[in-house]
């Protein structure tokens, strides 16, 4: 059992008095025990409780990642992602094989998959989609692709204006 950090305890008692919720004698011993169980984190626990205007002492909460900060996935999450990708790939393969395997139909399927990735983003799946789309674009008729607004939008989203310009050049050349 850890020793009670008296300074942290005094700050906690003062805070509880300030919010007009003084610690009752009956619960004082239990609250001291609870605080002492936090060991070296006692000061931080009291700071967190005061900052968040809690009436009790709670374990330290991990702060949320800052915007743009990359969160490292656990092994369990990575395994779940791999499993989910395998299921999605198998499901997609069924779709790829039920459509007539023309380059234009493959591009339409890519466009549908892009819509799903827009809802639930996944960088690895997006890279695979870019590769599949690029392969289908190479074998598709540029005029047909440019005739479909949704496909043009997909090309712009995945490859930017440069991708559209390449398609337009191919259309002029053919």
pLDDT in tens, 72-121: 888 999 999 999 988 888 887 776 667 677 888 889 989 988 998 988 88
Pair (102, 47) in one structural domain:
no
Q: Give me the domain span that covers residue 143.
A: 98-173
Residue 27: inside a domain, yes or no? yes
The model scores a pTM over 0.75: no
Is 121 a domain residue? yes
Taking the C-alpha atoms of residue 153 and residue 161, their distance in angstroms, rounded to an integer, is: 10
Please state, in angstroms and as integers, the Cα–Cα distance from residue 125 to each residue in 27, 34, 69, following that order: 54, 47, 20
State how far the Cα of 41 lies from the Cα of 49, in Å rounded to an integer. Answer: 12
What distance, in Å, lies between the first and last C-alpha atoms of the chain? 81
Q: Is residue 63 part of a domain?
A: no
3 state SS for 91-135:
HHHHHHHHCCCCHHHHHHHHHHHHHHHHHCCCHHHHHHHHHHHHH
Q: Is residue 147 situated within a structural domain?
A: yes
What is the pLDDT of the chain when averaged over all its residues?
88
The number of distinct structural domains making up the chain is 2
Largest alpha-carbon pair distance within the chain?
89
Could you tell me if 48 and 61 are in contact, meaning their C-beta atoms sit under 8 angstroms apart? yes
Top-confidence residue, 90 or 62: 90
User: Can you give the pLDDT at residue 99?
Assistant: 66
Asked, for residue 129, whether it belongs to a domain, the answer is: yes
Q: Is the pLDDT of residue 50 over 80?
A: yes
pLDDT exceeds cutoff 90 at 134: yes
- How crowded is the C-beta side of 68, counted as CA atoms within 13 Å? 0
| Segment 29-39, tens digit of pLDDT | 999 999 899 88
Please check whether residue 103 lies inside any domain of the structure: yes
Same domain assignment for residues 35 and 102: no
| Residue 15 near residue 23 (C-beta atoms within 8 A) | no
The position carrying tokens 């743009």 is: 68
């Amino acid at each position: 059992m850890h020793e009670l950090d008296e300074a942290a305890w005094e700050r906690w008692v003062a805070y509880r008095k300030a919010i007009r919720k003084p610690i009752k004698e009956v619960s004082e011993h239990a609250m001291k025990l609870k605080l002492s169980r936090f060991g070296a984190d006692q000061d931080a626990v009291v700071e967190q409780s005061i900052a968040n205007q809690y009436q009790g002492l709670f374990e330290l909460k991990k702060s949320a990642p800052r915007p743009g900060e990359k969160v490292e996935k656990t092994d369990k999450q990575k395994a779940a992602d791999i499993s989910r990708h395998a299921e999605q790939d198998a499901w997609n393969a069924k779709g790829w094989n039920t459509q007539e395997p023309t380059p234009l139909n493959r591009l339409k399927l890519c466009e549908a998959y892009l819509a799903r990735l827009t809802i639930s983003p996944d960088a690895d799946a997006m890279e695979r989609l870019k590769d599949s789309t690029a392969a289908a674009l190479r074998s598709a008729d540029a005029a047909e692709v440019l005739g479909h607004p949704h496909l043009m939008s997909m090309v712009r989203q995945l490859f930017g204006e440069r991708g559209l310009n390449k398609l337009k050049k191919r259309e002029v050349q053919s």
